[in-house]
Amino acid sequence: MPVPEVTIASQCHQCASIIVDYSSAIEVRGRVYCCNNCRLIGRGQLEPGVPGVPTCSHCSSPILDSTSMVDHKGRPYCCYNCAAMHMSAAR
């Protein structure tokens, strides 16, 4: 059995979404981001509100890396973690 790299529940350092899907999560120097989009913002390489770029319906992050993007009921989310946050909040 492979040992998971992250064994405790974590929150995105950028948008505070709880990480439930570690396939898109990225850890940088002990800080966990829900996906590459939040990592880019956290590193200051991405300005919020880039024209023509869809933004996450939960955390408003510009979705430049669409590999982790999730579409839920016609709304874009930067990753499954944000989509899950929205689903659990809108019960």
Q: Which spans of this chain sit near Zn ion (rule: CB under 5 A)?
A: 12, 14-15, 17, 34-35, 38, 56, 58-59, 61, 78-79, 82
Count of alpha carbons within 13 Å of 21, Cβ hemisphere only?
16
Q: Kindly tell me which of 2 and 17 has the beta carbon lying closer to Zn ion.
A: 17
**φ and ψ at 2, to 5 degrees?**
-70, 145
CB of 9 to Zn ion, least distance (A): 14
Nearer to Zn ion, 1 or 89 (CB): 89
Q: Are 33 and 23 in contact (CB under 8 A)?
A: no
CA distance 61 to 71: 14
Nearest distance from C-beta of residue 62 to Zn ion, angstroms: 10
